[in-house]
Every structure is written in C-alpha cells, then in structure tokens.
Structure 1
Amino acid sequence: MKPDDMGVLFDEIAEHGTPTTVHLDRPLDLGDDRRKFGVADLAELVQELAGWLAAAGAGHRDRVAIVKENHWDYDLLSCAAVRIGAVPAKLSDRLPSNTVEALLKRLDPKVLVTTTAVLEHARAAGVDLASFAGTTLVLDGAVPGTLSLDDVRGHTAPGPRRRHDDEPLAVMHTSGTTGTPKLVVHSRNTIIGQLARFETVRYPVIGMRGDDTLVNASAYAHGRTFCWTASAFCLAPREIVIISQQDADRVDPVLRAHPPTVMEALPATYVRFAELTERLDNPFRRTRLFVSTYDAMHPPTIRSYLTASHRKRPLWMQGWGQSETGPLTFRFHTRSSVDPKQSGRTSRNVGYAVPLKTRLRVVDPDSFEPVPRGQPGLVLTKTAARCLDYVGETDRWQAKHWGDWWITGDLGVRNRDGSVDLLDREVDMVPELSCLRVEDILEERLPQALECVVLGQPGKAPLPVVVTVDGELDKESWLRAAHDILPLQEPIALTWDQIPRTGTGKVRRLALLEQITATAETHGTGRWT
C-alpha cells in the first residue's frame, strides 16, 4: 500500500492485516511501559493520543509543538495531531533553551507537549517555555499551571479530519548547524506524496522484504522520521526496531536480540556504535543494507560496518538532502569503494540526482551563471518536494530561490558523469580548499579519531579539531597524518561531549569555532544558511 493520511496511517495498515511487530529500546515517554507493539496497538495508541491533544485544546489548523527527550513518540504524537486536523511541530530538546523560546514564539502553538525535565532545564536558563503556548501538556508529572496526563486521559477524540493536499501538514526544524534553525513547513503533497510514496517502491536489491528486520536509530524530532514512519510501515517488514539512545553498551543487547537486515541511522550514531562492529558475534552480521542520511559519512566508518556484515555483498546507501527538499542525491558504497587502497576515494561524492524527482545545477555564487563540469560552485536544485515556507521567516524562504531553483547553500562540483562532490557549506568555506575532503583524509590516517573537523579562519591557516575518546592526540601521529596537507594550525584534541552538536549529532561548526577562538568569523558570507 501507499501512505496517504498520516492521521489514520496505522488504522489503514492494520486493516490490511500487516504483521509487522515494533520493538523499542526503551518504553515511550507516554506513561506506557510496553516495549512491543503490533500495528493495531499503534492505531489504538494514536487514537488515544489524539484524544489527549483534543482535551488539551488543540483543533483544526492549530499548531501543536512537541519538545521532549528523543524517542519515536515524537512521530506518534504528530500522527495524533494530524488526525484531529492540527499541525504538529517537532522541536529537539537538544536545542538551547533560548533557541526553543525563539522557535515557540514563531510558532505560537495552541498546545505544547513536553516533559518535566525539558521545562526544568529551560527554567534553569531563565526561560519559561509554558508561557509561549496556550496550554502545556506535561507527559511525566504534574507541574503547576500545566496539564498532566491525568487531566486528559479518557477523552474521546473527534473523528479523523482530512485536510487539502497542499495545506500545511507538519512543521520540522532544520539542523541548526549555523545558528537558530528554520521552521520548515511541509504539506501532505510534499512530504508524503513526493517523498514517502517514492520510498515505498520495492526496488531491486535495496527494496524492503517481508522477512526483514528494519532498525532505525535516529533523531525523531526531525522531519526525516515522519516521512520514514509513513514509508516503513507501508513496506511491512517483519520487525521494526526503534533505537532512541546513543550509548552503544545499552543498545547492544537490543541489536543482538533483533539483528538488523536493514539499518538506518544518523551519521553520528554510526560513529558512536562503530565499536560494536568489533565485538564477537557483532549485531550487524546479517545486515545487507545500511542507510545514512543528513550528512556524508567518512570512509573508515562505512568500512567498519560493511566489513562487520557476513553478507556476500552488503551495500551502503548514502543520501544527501535537506529538510526543505528531502533527498536530492543518492550513492551506493561497497567494500571495494571504501577500500583504503583506492587512492583519493572519499565519501564526499554524494552521487546522482534522484531520478525523475530532482534536478541539480552548479552556478557561480556571484553571477549565478552555470559553471563548467569539474568546477566548484553553488549547488541549486529543482524538486516538487520543496517545502511551503519557513514559519515567521517567509522573506528568508523567498531569498533562497533563484527563479524555480532552490539554493541549497552548499558548494560542490558536478563531475563529468553527472555525480556531485560536496565541498563545504558556503558559510564554512576556505578559499582553494575543501574542509570536508581534508577531514576524510585525516580520519583515514588517524585510526584513533572518532571525528575530524577543519575550521576556516580569515587571515589564518585552517584549524583542525580531532575528536578522540580521551581528548588526547600524540604529536607523532598527527605529524604523520598531516605531513603532505597544506599548512594547518596545530590541532586541538577534544572529546565527543566537548563538541557542540545539533540534535542529529552534526557539529555546530560556528559554535565550535567561537568556543575555541572567541570569534565566529569565517570566510563565507552565510547568505544561504
């Protein structure tokens, strides 16, 4: 079947008799201790959640903001909001409290769904999040001036309310690597009709099978998982496993109990779980397909997973896209494509435009004239999946258009074969250098590095930051790794937790630069961030 109305998604799938079973790494944050659900259970749960939201005052076209700890209930609550005609807006609890305040002011939600920990963390920062919503529903306790679950349980939800295909369906925010995230508005046509339906095609080799165990380890506050929820359940694998945590030791038993045949995770999550690939009876031995989105992956990480698989020809499918557009390109990696003997090969080639869905163009960032193949420029795209608007920032949304083309804000090269090499975000660029390519080389040469980040500073050589387990990096290892790379500043070694990150684990490069140097000045203009 194809996804259609997210408010009744699970009802329709249950009517088809889909046998998919969902396993959770921990219970949802909804006062429910279950870790196992059938599709009919999920349909009942979404209907119950819709009753809660209606009891809290949400209705047709009202915005419902959701800010809580990372888990898939973000998407179940979103489905419940859609069911009653409201517009869900998912906000990550990893955002700074003042950023959440700014986004709530733009949203002006009728209902805020949150937890005591989120409210307390914000109050410690001097922000009263509940003051920016008509009503606040707290999922795990009683807070003065708010509603608790005891106040809304047992309320009968109104019947499902369908909206026009081009009306706002859901709001999700961008990663926020360069500052306050944008609030991206999608319709049923853009995120379900154009994106989720495309993913429900059973493609050869990579298509979902009835005996698959599909694992998703993601940041559920972001738009990708809303789309994924629609497509994954329509494809009806035998098992779906939801991972909400980043601790490899806690996740290991879940993955061993349900070893994935298909796995999708954040790039940062793959890095954090990579140690599992080296353990006896590693949980990825049955995996035939790994999927990564949000950001390009470094070759050593990809190689560790493909090597861990006992399948004859496991594949890695890498997608590049944006919250505003969905996937724009795709590329497959094999063991041979990330072989370190393949000199100069990096994962910064993000592949080809999605057939029949997207078009790409590389232009001069000043004149917007197309540049020849092989020359760097600003990447533009044309896609029917482009978002409707930015909440409260329509001028900013309009400024990212060049006629019918969308300005991605990324610098890249269109190769002779039509594939695209990503170089850098324009705001992070360094003249005559790709920071991302240098990072690939350094990670290949520094096995102890969890991650390498190269930051540009006007008037100075690029500044390398090396992330290690203990925040230490010996000088000899560094000199061997960087001996033939153009002059760099002395490296700074930090631990994973010392790096400012987005909810998806991306490095907030400007924040890191300011943290280290006390200035966020870069070579780029930041016009299209």
Structure 2
Amino acid sequence: MRPHDMGTLFHEVAARRTHTTVVLDRPFDIAPDRGTRFTVPQLADLVEEAAGWLHAAGACPGERVAVVKRNHYDYDLLACAAIRLGAVPALLSGHLSDDALETLLKRLEPAVLVTDRPVPAHHARRVLSLDVPGEGELTLDDVRGTRAPAPRRRHDDDPLVVNHTSGTTGTPKLVVHTTSTIVNRLARFEALRIPVVGTRRDDVVANASSYSHGRTFCWTGSVFCLAPRKIVLLSDPASAGEVLTAHPPTTVEALPSAYVRWRPLAHQADNPFRNVRLFVSTYDAVHPPVVRALLHASRRRRPLWMQGWGQTETGPLTFRFLTRAAVDRANHARDLGRPLPGRTRLQVVDPVTFQPVPRGRPGLVLARTGARCTAYVGEQDRWHDKETGGWWNTGDLGVLTRGGTVLLLDREVDTVPGLSCLKTEDVIENRLPEVLECIVLGAPGSPPLPVVVTADGHLDPLRWRSAITDLPVLAPPHVTTWDELPRTGTGKVRRLELLTRLIGHADTHGTGRWT
C-alpha cells in the first residue's frame, strides 16, 4: 500500500486489517484517558473524532488550523484530522518563544488554534484549549460528540500542510507543502519495501522526533502503510530508556539530540539497542562518537546507520550509510553522502557571483528537487530570493567532491574565514569523550568561541589544551551543561541567541541572507 490521502490514511490502513500495535511513552494530550497502547483502527477512530472537534470549533475547507502544544505524536493525528475536513494544518512547536509564536500566528491567521499553553489568541477565530481554558476558549468537552463531515479531497497541488523550519538563526519560516511535494514525491517513495533499509512486517519501529516538524508527517504517510509489528512513539527522549528497554526496537529514527541523550544507554548491559538493525538520523549530522557507541550497542552482525541530510523546504537531499568499521575510521560527520539518485541534483556556486565552482572547491550548495516547498506563509518574497531558475539555495556552505559526495562546512550565516566550525566541533568531540556536544561560534574581531557541553559543566583544562594543539586559535572554552543552552524543538542549539548571551551581540562573519 502507498499513501494517497493523509486525511483518510489511518482508515485505509485499518481496512487492510493490519496488526500493528502502537506504543506511547505517555498518553496523547488529546486523549489523556485512553492509555498508551493503540491499534491502527483505534487511531483511525481518534482522527475521525478529532475532525469532528475541529469542525465543531469552526474549521472549514481551505482554512488553517494551527496546533501548538507539548511534543507528542498527536500533532500528526490532528494534522490528519484537519486534512480530512479540507483544512490546512499548521504545526507549531511548543518550544517557540512567545514573540516567535505571536509572529507566526499573525502570518497564519488560523480559523482554529489548538493549544495547551497561554497564547496570543487574537489571531485565531476560535481557540480549542487542551489545558485550562482562557476567557472565550473552547475545551474538548465543548466539542466532543460532534460527527465529522465526510472526508474532503483536495487537488494534489493545493496546500496540504504547513510546518516551520527549526529557527536556529531567528524566527522560523512557515513552509507550505502540497500532496504533490510531500506525499507523492516523498512519502510514497519511502513506502516502498526497499531491501535492507525498508521497514519489514516483523520490525519494531521506534521514533523520537519533534512531531510538529514535517519529517514525521512524511514518515507517517509511509511507515503505517508498511505495517510493522510494532511502532514505539517517544515524546521525551530524555526519559525514553524504560520504554525502549521494554520494547527493544529493530529500527530507530530519532533527532540527533535524542541520540546524544541515549549514548549512556548504549553502555548498559541490557541496552535497549541490542536488536537494532537500522538507525536513521535526519535533520542534522550526528557526531562520530555517538554513532560509534550506538552501532556497537547493537548485537546484530551488520547494523547500519543511515544518515539523511535535507531541509524542511526540500525533504531529504542526500544519504549516507555507515557500518561499525566505517564509523571507526571516520574523523568527522560532515560527509553527507550522495544526492538521492533520480530525485535530487546538487551544485555548488560562488556565494557572490552564483557561478558554478569546480568540484573540490567550497561554495553555496544549491538543490533541485520535485519535493521543494511551494511557499513561505507571509514571506513569499523571501521564498523567491532562495529560488533561482529551479535551483533552491540551501544557505549551506559545502564542497561537492570529485567522487560526488557532499561535505558540509557551515551554515553561511555561521561561517568563519579559514575555518569550518562544524568540522572543528567533530574533531573536539572525537578527541574528548567527556564532551557531549561542542558548538563553535564566530564573530568579527575575536577568535572563534567554543561552547563545550559536559555532564557536570566541568572540563579538565589540561585535556582541553592537549586536544586543540593542532587546531586554529580558539578563544577559551565556555563550559556548560545540556539544559543551559537555548535549543529549538528539534534539539538544535540556537546559535545566534547563544552568541548574544555570551558576547552581547549576534554579529557574524556571514550575511545570513539565505537562512
């Protein structure tokens, strides 16, 4: 089976009498009394119920339904419910600041806002509260029991879903995808039973993601069609050890930040990754020490790590496979692999002239893909600035090697002359196992500033000096802990916000024009 209509996806899968069991780490926020185990027919019923709730709240075909709440997979259930009505779901992370949320809601002007937090509700016609309601807001009790209208189909090129970018460099962009771009081009391809990397019927599939982002919406359209034995959905990677141990997965897809948090679990005697045959990493590269620890935690003969690189606007652009032997040899994680054959083309151009540069020379990475988004809500001029003759400006600096692989250097806004911040981070993490994460920040007039994350916020100065002896001159490290860094909903560090905290401004060497 391959996905066609996300509004009726769960009903179509349920009709095939799949035996997939869905396990949660905590109950859904939209169904707190229904426990943590679901069948696909039960999920289908919940989507239909939620469509009735949204209909009762006033959502109509073509209008936007915004969702902002705690991280959980019910983001995707609400998205399918809105699509069933012919509405357009706009999924906003609960990690957004009040100012960013205010800006995004103003751009969206949703008919209905579903939320569990106090929000600037004057931009929505109705608010459906999942927590203590404010004045004039609806609760689930107010809308329960409303029968959902018959499913409404839309043209494949009409807006289907709105997701926002990670927002590491400021207010996120609101990305519009259609059925053509995110379902037909991406989810239907992933729903193929591809040898080795495809989902099997006997798999236990675990996912730990930021469910407001487009990756899990696309993943939903494929994994349920493939009908694995069990799907484990994790809302909080930091406390996922007990659930993973009780339901050892055979395939795992997770945020890079989740893998970092799980590294200590890999060293336990009964580690939950003992049965994993395939790890999947999206959003960003994972540093080699983390990949190494998890691959060696598996007791399978040949576990694989599949690293994907892409953007909310484009979907996946490149892929790379790592084995135990390959990651043991790897010095840095910024080899992003090759473009998806027949689906993606890449070229590297001079950042000033936009003329193609020879292979092996750094420049701006441009991509051509049929899965590219169709708009930015409220910022269409910005979308046009990033599109040139069918090529999409990723805003990343990289190298296209003679062998056809992509080496990522830095985001253009984060660049430092004569240095790859990302590669420097990889080298430091490889040399200092106690470093959970390293972020190198650059600002004009001063040496690059390394921010080093350890478990206790301390680092041996002698070990630090020994690790950086052959690196370019760096400022003294700022040593901190995981929770003290500003992060996005996907766990990425908000680099410009962190730079402002540490040096008082966010001036960088890059222009930031294509972020």
State the TM-score, normalizing by the size of structure 2.
0.99
The equivalences for 1:47-66 within 5 A come to 47-66=48-67
- 8 A Cα contact 1:298 1:443, kept in partner: yes
Q: 2:250 aligns with which of 247, 252, 261?
A: 261
SS at match of 1:281: coil
Residues 1:502 and 2:502 aligned together: no
Give the deviation of 1:260 after TM superposition.
Answer: 0.5
- C-alpha distance in 1 between matches for 2:224 and 2:198: 13
- C-alpha distance in 2 between matches for 1:404 and 1:314: 38
The equivalent residue for 2:236 is: 245
- C-alpha distance in 1 between matches for 2:438 and 2:182: 33
SS at match of 1:438: helix
The equivalent residue for 1:12 is: 12
Give the deviation of 1:203 after TM superposition.
Answer: 1.2
SS at match of 1:337: helix
- C-alpha distance in 1 between matches for 2:291 and 2:299: 15
The equivalences for 1:329-368 within 5 A come to 329-339=318-328, 342=329, 345-368=331-354
Paired amino acid for 1:244: S
- C-alpha distance in 2 between matches for 1:81 and 1:270: 32
Give the deviation of 1:337 after TM superposition.
Answer: 1.3
Residues 1:130 and 2:121 aligned together: yes
Residues 1:320 and 2:309 aligned together: yes
The equivalent residue for 2:372 is: 386
The equivalent residue for 1:160 is: 151
Identity between Structure 1 and Structure 2 (%): 62
Give the deviation of 1:525 after TM superposition.
Answer: 0.4
- 8 A Cα contact 2:331 2:430, kept in partner: no
Paired amino acid for 1:370: P
**TM-superposition CA deviations, 1:496-529 (whole Å, max 9, x none):** 1111111000011111111100010000001101
| Structure 1, gaps ≥5 residues long | 120-127
Give the deviation of 1:132 after TM superposition.
Answer: 1.6
RMSD: 0.9
Give the deviation of 1:246 after TM superposition.
Answer: 2.9
Give the deviation of 1:140 after TM superposition.
Answer: 3.1
Paired amino acid for 2:125: G
The equivalent residue for 1:122 is: none
Give the deviation of 1:280 after TM superposition.
Answer: 1.5
SS at match of 1:215: strand
- C-alpha distance in 2 between matches for 1:527 and 1:140: 39
Moved over 4 A (4+): none
- C-alpha distance in 1 between matches for 2:195 and 2:76: 28
The equivalent residue for 1:125 is: none
The equivalences for 1:282-293 within 5 A come to 282-293=271-282
The equivalent residue for 2:473 is: 487
SS at match of 2:237: coil
Give the deviation of 1:31 after TM superposition.
Answer: 3.4
The equivalent residue for 1:303 is: 292
Residues 1:96 and 2:97 aligned together: yes
SS at match of 2:320: strand
SS at match of 1:338: helix
Give the deviation of 1:142 after TM superposition.
Answer: 3.6
Give the deviation of 1:475 after TM superposition.
Answer: 0.5
Paired amino acid for 1:277: A
- C-alpha distance in 2 between matches for 1:486 and 1:423: 15
Give the deviation of 1:401 after TM superposition.
Answer: 1.1
- C-alpha distance in 1 between matches for 2:147 and 2:293: 50
SS at match of 1:276: helix
The equivalences for 1:59-98 within 5 A come to 59-98=60-99
Paired amino acid for 1:72: Y
- 8 A Cα contact 1:24 1:241, kept in partner: yes
SS at match of 2:240: helix
The equivalences for 1:339-488 within 5 A come to 339=328, 342=329, 345-488=331-474
Q: 1:145 aligns with which of 121, 129, 136?
A: 136
Give the deviation of 1:130 after TM superposition.
Answer: 1.7
Paired amino acid for 1:393: E
- 8 A Cα contact 1:113 1:139, kept in partner: yes
- C-alpha distance in 1 between matches for 2:131 and 2:243: 25
SS at match of 2:337: strand
Paired amino acid for 1:321: G
**TM-superposition CA deviations, 1:310-352 (whole Å, max 9, x none):** 000100000000000000000001111111xx3x632100000
- 8 A Cα contact 2:416 2:442, kept in partner: yes
Give the deviation of 1:273 after TM superposition.
Answer: 1.2
State the TM-score, normalizing by the size of structure 1.
0.96
Residues 1:41 and 2:29 aligned together: no
Residues 1:175 and 2:176 aligned together: no
| Structure 2, gaps ≥5 residues long | none
Paired amino acid for 1:441: V
SS at match of 2:180: helix
Paired amino acid for 2:297: A
Residues 1:271 and 2:260 aligned together: yes
Paired amino acid for 1:309: S
Paired amino acid for 1:243: L
- C-alpha distance in 1 between matches for 2:424 and 2:241: 32
- C-alpha distance in 2 between matches for 1:372 and 1:433: 20
- C-alpha distance in 2 between matches for 1:207 and 1:226: 17
- C-alpha distance in 1 between matches for 2:134 and 2:414: 42
**TM-superposition CA deviations, 1:94-113 (whole Å, max 9, x none):** 01111000000000000000
- C-alpha distance in 2 between matches for 1:388 and 1:285: 42
- 8 A Cα contact 1:140 1:149, kept in partner: no
Give the deviation of 1:281 after TM superposition.
Answer: 0.7
- C-alpha distance in 2 between matches for 1:144 and 1:103: 22
SS at match of 1:349: coil
- C-alpha distance in 1 between matches for 2:349 and 2:147: 55
Give the deviation of 1:437 after TM superposition.
Answer: 0.4
- 8 A Cα contact 2:331 2:426, kept in partner: no
- C-alpha distance in 2 between matches for 1:31 and 1:138: 13
- 8 A Cα contact 2:331 2:427, kept in partner: no
SS at match of 1:144: coil
**TM-superposition CA deviations, 1:9-45 (whole Å, max 9, x none):** 0110011111111000000001333211111111111
SS at match of 2:501: helix
Paired amino acid for 2:309: W
- C-alpha distance in 1 between matches for 2:98 and 2:182: 28
Residues 1:209 and 2:195 aligned together: no
